[in-house]
Amino acid sequence: MKVVILNNAAEVAAYGAQIFVKHINAKPTAVLGLATGSTPVALYKELIAAYQQGQVSFKHVSTFNLDEYLGLSGSHPQSYRHFMNGQLFDHVDINKANTAVPAGDAANPLEACAAYEAAIVAKGGVDIQLLGIGRNGHIGFNEPSSSLRSRTRVKTLTRATIDDNARFFGPDEFQPHLSLTMGIGTILESKKIVLLATGESKADAIKATVEGPLSASCPASALQWHEQTVLIVDEAAASKLSDIDFFKHIEAENQKLVHQFAT
């Protein structure tokens, strides 16, 4: 697990976006795993800017989103399909037919989850998966106690997650308590994983992810199993790590290697 500690949220977004830009330019048909929530928005703005400046094209890219609320259609303003259209897809040259979000309004959610897994496999798997992290360590909607080998499925949201997401819903608006989400096992099959975290509220989750035991009590700790995971965090999110200077030293040495072999 690579941990990159940067000064602020803007640097986190820029660093993460460049990973995606470089990957897409190296493989124009890349399969991206995408995430919703407040943290990825800044990264999506960076990707839109890169596209507008001619640095990257999404024309042949395919995407799979992590999750969706059960009971919401893609046209619902609080759905994650609507979110992705507004935050990224409407602003780049991606073919929306190649963008997949779990079907929150599926007549049979269990069948929809199995079909989602099959669609990922048919595309050859996810090349690079973007993640945020919840205060309780959840990734996607894999809440604490989720099986570390779980697959795409229907998942009940914890009260903490419901409360965190309540700000996106009006006082009289229906807020789902169930979701469809890629499983932790599904996420771990991605070839590369990029997790972003900013702010002091994520510090406990980041410490548990990096330094804690591998445990279902912190779903993100399963990323310790993955050979190509990079956590990009700001100073606040990293504040409870035991040896911040160690991670900064490693990243400085890694950057020296990058520059050495790039010349």
- Assess whether 65 carries a catalytic annotation: no
| Domain count within the chain | 1
Q: How far apart are alpha carbons 75 and 63 in whole angstroms?
A: 18
Can you say whether residue 256 is alpha, beta or left, with left for phi > 0 and alpha for psi between -120 and 50 degrees? Answer: alpha
- Residue identified by tokens 């509220």 is 201
Strand order in the sheet with 62-65: 2-6, 229-234, 192-197, 128-131, 31-34, 62-65, 99-100
- With contact defined as beta carbons under 8 Å apart, do 144 and 134 qualify? no
Among 46, 138, 189, 234, the active-site one is 138
User: What one-letter code names the amino acid at 125?
Assistant: G
What is the per-residue pLDDT for 142? 96
- Assess whether 143 carries a catalytic annotation: yes
Q: Which of 16, 203, 260 is nearest to 128 (CA)?
A: 16
| CATH value at residue 115 | 3.40.50.1360
Among 143, 164, 189, 234, the active-site one is 143
Q: How far apart are alpha carbons 166 and 173 in whole angstroms?
A: 10
Which secondary structure element, helix H or strand E, spans residue 83, and what is its range?
Answer: helix 80-87
User: What range does the domain containing 221 cover?
Assistant: 2-262
- Assess whether 234 carries a catalytic annotation: no
One digit per residue, the tens of pLDDT, for the chain of length 263 reads 999 999 999 999 999 999 999 999 999 999 999 999 889 999 999 999 999 999 999 999 999 999 999 999 999 999 999 999 999 999 999 999 999 999 999 999 999 999 999 999 999 999 999 999 999 999 999 999 999 999 999 998 888 888 888 877 888 777 788 999 999 999 999 999 999 999 999 999 999 999 999 999 999 999 999 999 999 999 999 999 999 998 988 888 888 887 777 65
- Assess whether 108 carries a catalytic annotation: no
